[in-house]
Amino acid sequence: MKYYILFGPPGAGKGTQAGAISEKYNLKHISTGEMLRNEIAAGTELGKQAKELIDAGNLVPDSVVEGMIESTFNNNKNVAGFLLDGFPRTLGQAVDLDEMLARRGEKVNAVISIMIKDETIKQRIQHRAEIEGRADDANEETIKNRIATYHKQTEPLITYYKNAGKYQEVDGECGGIEDVRKAMFRVFKGIDRKFMERQVVLDDSLLDKVQMLAQESPRLRMNYDLRNSEDDQSQRMLNVMLPGTHTTIHKHNLSSETVMLMRGKMDTVFYNNKGVEMQRIHMGGDTGVFGVNIPKGQWHTFEVYDLSIIFMAQDGPWSPLSKENML
């Protein structure tokens, strides 16, 4: 398992970037705030402890938060690793995390920090407060305190992880969201060498392996990258999809997409710009159809009837779908 920590001050865009990173590298994103809400909603023992403390107006202690994190590690076996967001926040938590991972025979692989100036933090917090109607966050003194707290808590952690040789920085003001995302991917490219010098034979053994991983995944799907290197700026992968998989209607504006069905039975469905179904292509079974080329800019989705494994190929590097490319 890989264990990455995402650092950054309020307004740096951690939440914005975490989703794309998690999707690309098959990581489980762990946001401590979201994790607390989920544990409480699920009614777990840890969730009950947290709820009692919060209802009494008390802070949730490190031991409870760390228990939830370890529970998340234990219950997510079929991911490549974890992306921690909002933890650790203090030196004590960093030491506890190292000890927790050491018990598992694991370690923190890297810490990636999105850095922005204090003035930018202030502007972004104020802007977010206006959008979300949070008057308390728009208060000048509140913002100053949040920035001061961040520096007080985080700077010792930066030194801690620098000394361990695990600290990486990304300029959070190098451009727009996509520019920062590309910078993040470049950092991960330098950290993770899993693709290097790998030769892959597409046989039943490989298909069985990725099929098993998909069946155990809560997402009901699994991507398997077929490139030999991150420097390969194309997209070639196996995609395993179980019945019940939901694929958003989407399009690719920069390249056509070739899809070959290697196992299973599914439909490729084309839509017009209003989301009206225009064509349905039955694939697999006794149809005699095992592949389709999807034109550039064509709205489409996949409907899976039996567990299906497809080979997908596209020009250009992978990037998450933008809102304008989803119906």
Q: Which residues are catalytic?
A: 14, 89, 128, 134, 146
**Nearest in space to 327 (alpha carbons), one of 304, 305, 308, 300:** 300
Type of residue numbered 106: E
Helix ranges, the chain (H) = 14-25, 32-42, 45-55, 62-74, 91-103, 118-132, 135-138, 140-163, 177-191, 204-215
Q: At what angle do helices 45-55 and 32-42 cross, to 10 degrees?
A: 110
Query: 12 near 172, Cβ under 8 Å?
Result: yes
DSSP characters over 20-80:
HHHHHHTEEEEEHHHHHHHHHHHT-HHHHHHHHHHHTTPPPPHHHHHHHHHHHHHT--SSS
End-to-end CA distance of the chain: 35
CB atoms within 10 A of CB 114: 22
Query: 106 near 97, Cβ under 8 Å?
Result: no
